[in-house]
Structure 1
């Protein structure tokens, strides 16, 4: 368009005062080279390089670089897109000559402009309109952010940069100073080009050409013999190594490289991660590289250990490709997981502790030299948890059970398939040979980033079913976290969850649900009703052959109960009216607390003030968390039953098992103990007002272990409530799998007044890659005829409930 403007307009533009003559504080031209591919040149193409002087990325979409000859007034434009990383570079490739032997790094923008090898003008323009009519004063033309005139040209900032040759380029000083004087800001020297990924090519990089040489610092010098680098915060130059793995997705992209010539110190790692942010690194496994950057310690989450890495403005020089990789170290973990206290303040003992073994191999190639059992299903991130110690706390179904805080199972190891992973379930076998650099990542802790993944040998893992009630008077009660179920969820999720209720749980008489979202799910628009969500689920259960359940719940206040923002999750009662009766008592709402009411002063007959109701919803124990739902039921004629459905606050914010300070801080536990105290007090009130006769079932997702302070508080150390999971064999106590540990988060607890019962956990989700929820449901059957002493044989604990 500008080229077509009438001359009178062009003349007017010449007179417009420019605003670009001010010093550029952010993006500047950092190098120009016009001898690409000419006689004597080694780099094949002309190029223009830009630099970002700031601490934040800068978007250059809609900008351009423009070139004119020394005497010419016509600029040729190359459009830009994308962004320049903080303190990073941006490479614009231009025309190629007939010669040269070196390719530029991957360009961020490309043009076809044949630049002069000796004299010319390059402008950085914040628009994509060709410069016209600015004569020899283009440095002050509108939209011109920076300009460099080199050689015999008058179109400059103050004075021209030096004239160039086929083998020299103009480069801005190392500090990227901008004085608006090209003769001061630029010097001529060996052509060197860097792209936004930090990859650098220099004209003398060609083998035999006297190229760059390794600096004095090696990877083991950076890693040191402790958890924190002895030179953290310092910049290092030309650190040598072989690329062993590349992460090319996400916001933590980068690559691992390893020194093929290790030192003799077994406490210093020879591998290191190079962080390139959201930019895909332009390297490949087997490349021999020299890396320049700043030594940093990255903590992926609060309380985590630090990953030593190279970051900042990273420059990578590739020397060659296809090199042999350093030999991988076989994984051989000690039996003890960790020592106590601040790990960073103590010497590393890799022969004694698993976390110390990991630290001395951080960034290095390791390999699983033996077959390993999957102890967690493969997830959508291609993560596989395996057990390197087959005899360590195995479950009958192939997992590893989590028994106590003192035993986090040292043999667990996370393997990430960098090139993908097949679907796999707990108990499948990962064959020997998974190999890659050892990384550290948040809650997963240390992980093998597998460039080579062993084959997966699968076995058929049974989805267990529950036996039907043996007598008509028995009452079955189940709890199921249905993982953020909303009316907007796919019908397939409703259908599969319903099939689990009907087939695996055999249509329990009372079913408590956790994580029922409001009708429009996570749309945060004030909707709190969940009638459509619940109605859709009940319809799916009927379609699967189940009963016509009725339901009770209380809508929460908008945004007050935690969970996914906008979802307003809550607990819900479903019940089969043909098997049990719900006693409705009006008045229950989000802010009204339920109380125990004695029907007559001298009577042990009690009821609830409201049903359904919530336990003390004003208590700070329930801040941003679900409030327990209490309901009064009748079964087996006129027998009274109080059911309390729960979903305690999550473990969000707790430090990982691999934390830098041991034992890990469990900050979320404080609130769960408060919540347990509230429920415990309510259960004790039911018992006190009824002279111990009240039948009470407390159940749900309590987000804590059977041995935790929260559960000890809730049960009164077993005196107020009986946690049924403790009746199972120790290797079967789990309803959830996290970080390769099969653990208990869901519970069913009974008051001592309930004598006869049969109980089980139904393993249909947590161990499978194909899940309907991330929790397994569990069920109790309260047996009829057990209100007598001595108990009939069928009422004794331990009756099997699982087929």
Structure 2
């Protein structure tokens, strides 16, 4: 119920009634709507149920009861509106006055020539018009018009004798052509929608709706709130960039309860655009308090009234990331839900994986490394670290409930991709409304141009390398010539994993060729390429890529390494491969699979939870080694190209996720490292080349067991290889879940180490949004793509080294 209070001086008058008639309308809308009678409480009314409104139709001397009030109480100074529901009368009232009537009746109300009677306990105490007189042609007739009592106050008294001098009458047909009260030439002195909130017992503070817990304590209760619109996200209005089917209302500063546990803001769910609001409007909303997927909101809204516009906004709540730990190390933004919020400290972009589909990114107080990039696996340490990351991170969203929108609708991205925005770029004093959706708190910009990102991680050019021989390793993100269309299978019976249309394939190929040519390496060690190496096979993606490189540059510049068998990996869809310039000669090739492991140390297979390391599902991909020699010299290098088992999936036994940061299949990756180490001791290519490098995607961060086994003598006293980068714990080549770390490596043995004169990582992929890659899924705009730009050719960044054989 919405009751509107007019506070006047309380002049003591004895023997006056509690309730009087003060006005009526026979409206201009369909069916004579809005059709209502208006009453006023001259004093506090403890129980309205003793009062009945009646109509004297067509001059009847006794009125017909049309509405008896329920047992409600109202305070002195309250105006009450009883409206007819016939011919969609409630909607007519709401649209005409932008306000909802207090009570509704299905009975017929007066037509402008009918008198109204007010009865108390069955006795007539007040009238509008003359009882027993048909109003047609009378001076008090208000057909298609209105009648209004003059000088209403708490001292006003009722009368069974109608005195027209106490009333103002619009005249007949005064409202013809009017659609709203405010735009009509004959304005009714409407007293609704302008309460004195500070004294209105029917206004519920937003803080009371929110409560101090995780959900509203008023769930299911009809409430009336008043506050300032701080975020307009209504559907169907002029702002197409912000559509959440509602708006955010925040309590005025003077009405804030100063309780740090209660929010002063709330979301109003208004899917039908009941009343169009704007930021800065003071509004009164009547609806039902409740929860929607964890977000407190006002739903089933019956009335939205704009009291005034252009008001200053309430003070934004200020938060600083990381948030303080609370509730057992769980951060809680519930006290700010629905409010205008400013993050006081600088934030950096840490993830953009959902930018292309949901127009949302992750921001944090700093770029966080994966825990095991800088720490050895540890259960408690990992849990504490994730808590810190969680408390330091917030999602920035576009405020659209639909998917696959133009990324440039996200405020701050208006000039993207022409002006790159990359992970590591920053924003200061980020301000927006706080909204809880899909299990995340989201900060949403309320107006265009309020968010601006600062470039702190500019897109780098391809690195120039010193040295006689340049080597690059790159995970190419599932480069397949077998397209993933319908029921297509690769030649070894697997589902294709790459492009799912010719258009996507052409885009992927163009960007990949651009990338490789810009790196200009002498040897490329590629990972995640289709596992088919039969010359001339339609599925030989490595051969196809080599031909594309030669077409884009001088013919015969590049060749690919034939491993001597169609499938490097016995059963997987992807494998590893090499492309080299034709100035480089291949002196030998070898493959590390389970049969080789058995010949080296069968106990390694026994230590695996499934008894297999390289063959079969969920295993490491078979390693491919090749020895290369610069033609015309004796300068050689053996490179072992690897792709260890990923962290995804559910392992068992020693391969189960220990919740220590190393994730699943750590043991399988460690055993692969051990097998690789033993295998390389055997000179598998038969070349007798002493310079050996291990390259590829090891799916292990810098402090995890497989990496430490190969490079850390404190973990493995017999470790023979060295990381090529100083301070490897601060390196990275991959982003996952908003954290950076290294999965892609080049390790060198003692013979090769002094010959390495340069090493660089080209951060061209993992710091870029995947919206720039070849994929067209989910309706992505094709125009984001630029095949002449290497940015986001994969999700891993390449690692490059320069070798000088005559330093």
Which category of TM-score, normalised to the shorter sequence, fits these structures?
0.5 to 0.7
Distance 2:721 2:668 in 1: 16
Q: How does 1:533-572 map to 2 (within 5 A)?
A: 533-545=541-553, 547-550=558-561, 568=573, 570-572=575-577
Indicate the residue corresponding to 1:461 in structure 2.
Answer: 458
Deviation of 1:220 (Å): 2.7
1:491 to 2:506 alignment: yes
Deviation of 1:631 (Å): 1.4
Indicate the residue corresponding to 1:208 in structure 2.
Answer: 191
Distance 2:750 2:423 in 1: 37
Indicate the residue corresponding to 2:154 in structure 1.
Answer: none
Indicate the residue corresponding to 1:5 in structure 2.
Answer: none
Distance 1:752 1:626 in 2: 29
Give 3-state SS (helix, strand or coil) of 1:548's partner.
strand
Indicate the residue corresponding to 2:158 in structure 1.
Answer: none
Question: Residues 653 and 223 from structure 1, CA distance in 2 versus in 1: closer, same or farther, beyond 3 angstroms?
Answer: farther
Indicate the residue corresponding to 1:734 in structure 2.
Answer: 732
Question: Residues 475 and 762 from structure 1, CA distance in 2 versus in 1: closer, same or farther, beyond 3 angstroms?
Answer: closer
Question: Residues 445 and 752 from structure 1, CA distance in 2 versus in 1: closer, same or farther, beyond 3 angstroms?
Answer: farther
* 1:705-732 deviation line (CA, Å, top 9, x unaligned): 3234665567676636688768344795
Distance 2:663 2:373 in 1: 21
Indicate the residue corresponding to 1:649 in structure 2.
Answer: 646
Deviation of 1:502 (Å): 1.6
Distance 2:435 2:93 in 1: 37
2:274–2:304 Cα contact (<8 Å) kept: no
Distance 1:327 1:653 in 2: 49
Q: How does 1:54-69 map to 2 (within 5 A)?
A: none
Distance 1:732 1:499 in 2: 28
Give 3-state SS (helix, strand or coil) of 1:324's partner.
coil
Question: Residues 441 and 679 from structure 1, CA distance in 2 versus in 1: closer, same or farther, beyond 3 angstroms?
Answer: farther
1:572–1:629 Cα contact (<8 Å) kept: no
2:710–2:721 Cα contact (<8 Å) kept: no
Distance 1:733 1:439 in 2: 35
Indicate the residue corresponding to 2:341 in structure 1.
Answer: 366
More off after superposition, 757-766 vs 328-337: 328-337
Equivalent of residue 702 in structure 2, options 703, 706, 725: 706
Distance 1:314 1:557 in 2: 60
Indicate the residue corresponding to 1:319 in structure 2.
Answer: 305
Question: Residues 493 and 570 from structure 1, CA distance in 2 versus in 1: closer, same or farther, beyond 3 angstroms?
Answer: same
Deviation of 1:361 (Å): 2.0
Distance 1:281 1:765 in 2: 46
1:531 to 2:539 alignment: yes
Distance 2:206 2:614 in 1: 49
Indicate the residue corresponding to 1:39 in structure 2.
Answer: 32
Deviation of 1:576 (Å): 4.3
Distance 1:207 1:709 in 2: 77
Distance 1:515 1:676 in 2: 20
Give 3-state SS (helix, strand or coil) of 1:451's partner.
coil
Give 3-state SS (helix, strand or coil) of 2:669's partner.
helix
Indicate the residue corresponding to 1:470 in structure 2.
Answer: 467
* 1:652-699 deviation line (CA, Å, top 9, x unaligned): 899xxxxxxxxx995994423133123123124326657999866444
2:249–2:267 Cα contact (<8 Å) kept: yes
Deviation of 1:439 (Å): 3.1
2:614–2:621 Cα contact (<8 Å) kept: no
Give 3-state SS (helix, strand or coil) of 1:496's partner.
helix
* 1:351-399 deviation line (CA, Å, top 9, x unaligned): xxxx45x443233111356776656679434445556x6xx5799xxxx
Distance 1:684 1:665 in 2: 25
1:481–1:701 Cα contact (<8 Å) kept: no
Distance 1:696 1:207 in 2: 89
Question: Residues 729 and 257 from structure 1, CA distance in 2 versus in 1: closer, same or farther, beyond 3 angstroms?
Answer: farther
1:434–1:450 Cα contact (<8 Å) kept: no
Question: Residues 537 and 480 from structure 1, CA distance in 2 versus in 1: closer, same or farther, beyond 3 angstroms?
Answer: same
Question: Residues 639 and 432 from structure 1, CA distance in 2 versus in 1: closer, same or farther, beyond 3 angstroms?
Answer: closer
Distance 1:665 1:217 in 2: 50
Give the gaps of 5 or more residues in structure 1: 1-33, 44-92, 107-115, 120-165, 167-205, 299-306, 344-354, 520-528, 562-567, 599-605, 609-614, 655-663, 786-791, 795-803
Equivalent of residue 678 in structure 2, options 685, 689, 694: 685
1:779 to 2:804 alignment: no
Question: Residues 215 and 666 from structure 1, CA distance in 2 versus in 1: closer, same or farther, beyond 3 angstroms?
Answer: farther
TM-score (norm 2): 0.53
Q: Alpha carbon RMSD of aligned pairs, Å?
A: 5.8
Deviation of 1:735 (Å): 1.9
Question: Residues 584 and 411 from structure 1, CA distance in 2 versus in 1: closer, same or farther, beyond 3 angstroms?
Answer: closer
1:482–1:772 Cα contact (<8 Å) kept: no
Q: How does 1:655-674 map to 2 (within 5 A)?
A: 669-674=662-667
Deviation of 1:495 (Å): 1.8
Question: Residues 281 and 650 from structure 1, CA distance in 2 versus in 1: closer, same or farther, beyond 3 angstroms?
Answer: farther
1:686–1:694 Cα contact (<8 Å) kept: no
Indicate the residue corresponding to 1:760 in structure 2.
Answer: 760
Indicate the residue corresponding to 2:485 in structure 1.
Answer: none
Question: Residues 698 and 257 from structure 1, CA distance in 2 versus in 1: closer, same or farther, beyond 3 angstroms?
Answer: farther
1:514 to 2:528 alignment: yes
* 1:69-112 deviation line (CA, Å, top 9, x unaligned): xxxxxxxxxxxxxxxxxxxxxxxx99899x95533999xxxxxx
Distance 2:273 2:742 in 1: 40
Question: Residues 314 and 752 from structure 1, CA distance in 2 versus in 1: closer, same or farther, beyond 3 angstroms?
Answer: farther
1:415 to 2:402 alignment: no
Deviation of 1:437 (Å): 0.7
1:376–1:426 Cα contact (<8 Å) kept: no
Distance 2:682 2:434 in 1: 59
Indicate the residue corresponding to 1:163 in structure 2.
Answer: none
Which of 1 and 2 has greater Rg? 2
Equivalent of residue 262 in structure 1, options 245, 252, 256: 256
Distance 1:210 1:443 in 2: 36
1:725–1:733 Cα contact (<8 Å) kept: no
Deviation of 1:446 (Å): 4.7
Question: Residues 677 and 708 from structure 1, CA distance in 2 versus in 1: closer, same or farther, beyond 3 angstroms?
Answer: closer
Deviation of 1:744 (Å): 2.8
Distance 2:442 2:461 in 1: 33
Deviation of 1:646 (Å): 1.0
1:646–1:698 Cα contact (<8 Å) kept: no
* 1:279-314 deviation line (CA, Å, top 9, x unaligned): 99976444635364464474xxxxxxxx43348x74
Question: Residues 373 and 215 from structure 1, CA distance in 2 versus in 1: closer, same or farther, beyond 3 angstroms?
Answer: same
Question: Residues 607 and 534 from structure 1, CA distance in 2 versus in 1: closer, same or farther, beyond 3 angstroms?
Answer: farther
Indicate the residue corresponding to 2:475 in structure 1.
Answer: 480
Q: How does 1:87-166 map to 2 (within 5 A)?
A: 100=92, 102-103=94-95
Give 3-state SS (helix, strand or coil) of 1:309's partner.
strand
* 1:534-578 deviation line (CA, Å, top 9, x unaligned): 4443333223336233465976999x96xxxxxx55544444454
Q: Which has the higher helix share?
A: 2
Question: Residues 258 and 782 from structure 1, CA distance in 2 versus in 1: closer, same or farther, beyond 3 angstroms?
Answer: same
2:361–2:395 Cα contact (<8 Å) kept: yes
Give 3-state SS (helix, strand or coil) of 2:257's partner.
coil
Indicate the residue corresponding to 1:133 in structure 2.
Answer: none
1:643–1:697 Cα contact (<8 Å) kept: yes
Q: How does 1:419-438 map to 2 (within 5 A)?
A: 419-420=409-410, 421-422=413-414, 423=416, 424-426=420-422, 434-438=430-434
Distance 1:653 1:443 in 2: 24
Distance 1:413 1:274 in 2: 23
Question: Residues 753 and 501 from structure 1, CA distance in 2 versus in 1: closer, same or farther, beyond 3 angstroms?
Answer: same
TM-score (norm 1): 0.53
